[in-house]
Amino acid sequence: MNSLSWNELTLQVTLLFQQTNDPTIRLEITEGQISLLKTSKGETPWSIAVRKIGREVINAWEDPYEAQPDILSNENIIRNCWDKIKASRSSADVLAIYFKIGKYISQYMTILQSINPDEDSLVELLLWLQRITELYQPKFLYKACLRLYALFDSCPQVVKQVGKLLTITKLGRMKKEDYDELYQEMTALKGLISQ
């Protein structure tokens, strides 16, 4: 009989849990312990959505992803992405474009912070983003794109798949505690899958 390592066991249990349809069962994994807990109340609609997003991440994990070479400046890349968003009709494709914008916002923020670490670079970044997109208030775009990039930075191949369940509007308007729950779930799932 083959024995599983702890990581393999937790991945297998997580995969099985993702397939359950009983909203009263909760999975908790701590150091050295896996628990399936029966609760008296069902899951909230948000925790059900988080579970569905987790399933999509698992299903799309092995999908190929080819990063396009970036020979343009961050500004031109974001401008091109913004033009594609305005022209696109497919929500899955749009989410992937917002992901790319999040990546370049993150890179530009890092550049600004390295140039002048004593200044608040968010003000300059928002003005830069406003100039590119011509949005009156680019802070929503900034917040939503960075959240999306933070969720899937190590697995961009799954972004199109989760586009069926997660919109940029939902991500931008999401309460902090809901985003934190999703972020923790995705971080744990990525850690389990990539081992």
Coil vs helix vs strand at 22 = coil
56 inside domain: no
Angle at 96 (CA atoms; ends 185, 167), nearest 5 degrees: 60
By residue range, what is the domain housing residue 155? Answer: 74-174
65 inside domain: no
139 inside domain: yes
Quote the pLDDT of residue 72: 45
The pTM assigned to this predicted structure is: 0.67
6 inside domain: no
Q: Residue written as tokens 């300059």?
A: 124
Q: Residue written as tokens 């929503």?
A: 140
* Residue 18 to residue 20: CA distance in whole angstroms: 6
Structural domains of the chain, count? 1
Element (DSSP H or E) covering residue 107: helix 91-115
51 inside domain: no
141 inside domain: yes
Regions of the chain where pLDDT drops below 50? 69-72
Quote the pLDDT of residue 191: 76
165 inside domain: yes
9 inside domain: no
